[in-house]
Amino acid sequence: MLADHFNEPADTAMTKVEQFEKDVKQRFVHEPGQMRLLIVVDKLLTGFDAPPATYLYIDKKMRDHGLFQAICRVNRLDGDDKDYGYIVDYRDLFNSLESAITDYTSGALDGYERQDIEGLLSDRVEKAREDLDEALERVRAICEPVAPPKNTLQYQRYFCAIEPGNAEQLKANEPKRVDLYKAVAAATRAYGNLANEMGAAGYSDAEAAAIRDEIAHYAAVRDEVKLGAGEDIDFKQYEAGMRFLLDTYIQANASETVADFEDTGLIQLIVQLGAGAIDKLPQGIKKDPEAVAETITNNMRKVIVDERAMNPKYYDKMSQLLDALIEQQRQGAIDYKQYLERLLAQAQQLGKRESDTVYPAWADNGARRALIDFGLPSEDVAIKVDSAVMDSKPYDWLGNPIKEKKVKRALRKALPDRYERLDELFDLVKARNEYR
């Protein structure tokens, strides 16, 4: 195990036990979606705080303080997604535990507050049903305002933008999307906790099947909305776990990765595949031409807004081109087939950062081209600015006020006297990866 973890010979790896334990604990606490199970013998029963830990499997004899401390490993809250922990008891310790809780004032649990002890144990199936019903009601309430017939296009317009590519609407609707993502994730986890015991929880076969279909529906809605908004919100610690639950309890066949939008993004996928990227979209989107067009438009707008600081002039021009194309479609000057073709062409241009500007030979990267587009007094000044940044920037300078001042002073020296756009230029320099 150690040899595999460190990718080293066993003899060398055996000297790194402490580092291995540190790595394992860090991943279990901070990347729970990537490390779902941690097996210990005599460690981590005290002084170890892992809020995402939800299940504790006990397979050794424990009692009193030791037992109580062990179950407390799963009683930490973890945001809105965790209300309690599960204990799976293979040693029939619950009689001992009940006794310890009942008699806590006699010394076994002396020092613990009563409210920490009361209600410590509850019926898992009963509680799991309550959680599932509540989680589904929350998702239904969030989606209830979506206009009929509640197909992909209606969900896109409610959670993304009524007007395709409207950056203000995309931003204003972000809280609604975050609520949707969280609610669907919570409902999926609640269903996973009970999926194998729906009958024991009191659901009929028909009700269980309907809930399964409903969870699958909302999971698809979530994925389509997230893609439609071009978002990569940082839920990565939950994504692997949610995908596991969907593949285990929702998918009837083996899971298949259609397209890795998380790492690639729709615009880059269009760059790679052209019109073939449409075939990689979720089924609910690609069957509706309007939904396809709006998904591409919203993704283009998000790229323009997110990356504008890297080259304001270029992205402002791309924004104007997109606005003009949207207006053509709105006025009925082109049909959806033409609109989609032109959208794909513009998306490829945007993804490749292509421009009709003829750049000088020295402007051989994005940062130097951004300096040309910025509109400095001359090409010579642009060359001086590039050299000043490259020669003056200390290691890891971005975000360090002292180091940033050094770079800004070098910029000032490279510019003509009383240059009025120094701060704007400095923001551009900070945004470029080439200067980091």
pTM over 0.75: no
384 vs 122, higher pLDDT: 384
> Across 149-197, where does the E strand assignment appear?
none
Question: How far is Cα 277 from Cα 393, in angstroms, rounded to an integer?
Answer: 40
Residue 17 has pLDDT above 80, yes or no: no
R_g of the chain computed on alpha carbons: 28
- DSSP, collapsed to helix, strand or coil, labels residue 393 as coil
32 vs 158, higher pLDDT: 158
So what's the pLDDT on residue 260? 52
Question: How far is Cα 435 from Cα 429, in angstroms, rounded to an integer?
Answer: 7
For residues 326-348, give the mean pLDDT.
92
Q: Summarize pLDDT for 99-140 with one digit per residue, the tens.
A: 555 544 444 445 555 545 444 555 678 888 999 999 999 999
Residue 298 has pLDDT above 90, yes or no: yes
For residues 25-33, give the mean pLDDT.
76
Q: Dihedral sign, CA of 179, 181, 185, 191? A: positive
Element (H, E) at 350: helix 336-352
Give the CA distances from residue 278 to residues 55, 229, 264, 270, 295, in Å, rounded to whole numbers and listed in that order.
41, 16, 14, 8, 10
Question: How far is Cα 98 from Cα 64, in angstroms, rounded to an integer?
Answer: 10
Question: How far is Cα 226 from Cα 235, in angstroms, rounded to an integer?
Answer: 12
Q: Summarize pLDDT for 191-239 with one digit per residue, the tens.
A: 988 988 999 999 999 999 999 999 999 999 998 999 999 886 545 445 6
Q: Summarize pLDDT for 170-201 with one digit per residue, the tens.
A: 999 999 999 999 999 889 989 988 988 999 99
Question: Residue 353: what residue type?
Answer: R
For residues 413-420, give the mean pLDDT.
92
So what's the pLDDT on residue 242? 66
248 vs 343, higher pLDDT: 343
Question: How far is Cα 169 from Cα 153, in angstroms, rounded to an integer?
Answer: 15
**What's the token pair of residue 255?**
């899971």
> For residue 213, how far is the Cα from the chain centroid?
24
Paired residues of 88 in beta bridges: 57
So what's the pLDDT on residue 18? 81
So what's the pLDDT on residue 340? 92
- Name, in order, each residue with C-beta under 8 angstroms of 288's C-beta and a sequence gap of 6 or more: 151, 152, 153
Residue 4 has pLDDT above 90, yes or no: no
For residues 328-344, give the mean pLDDT.
91
Q: Is 148 exposed, middle or buried (0-12, 13-18, 19+ CB in 10 A)?
A: exposed
Question: How far is Cα 422 from Cα 406, in angstroms, rounded to an integer?
Answer: 14
Q: Is 366 exposed, middle or buried (0-12, 13-18, 19+ CB in 10 A)?
A: middle
Question: How far is Cα 161 from Cα 46, in angstroms, rounded to an integer?
Answer: 49
Residue 82 has pLDDT above 60, yes or no: yes
Q: Summarize pLDDT for 41-69 with one digit per residue, the tens.
A: 777 766 677 777 777 888 887 776 677 77
pLDDT confidence bin for 80, thresholds 50/70/90: low
**What's the token pair of residue 59?**
């397979």
For residues 407-434, give the mean pLDDT.
93
Residue 324 has pLDDT above 80, yes or no: yes
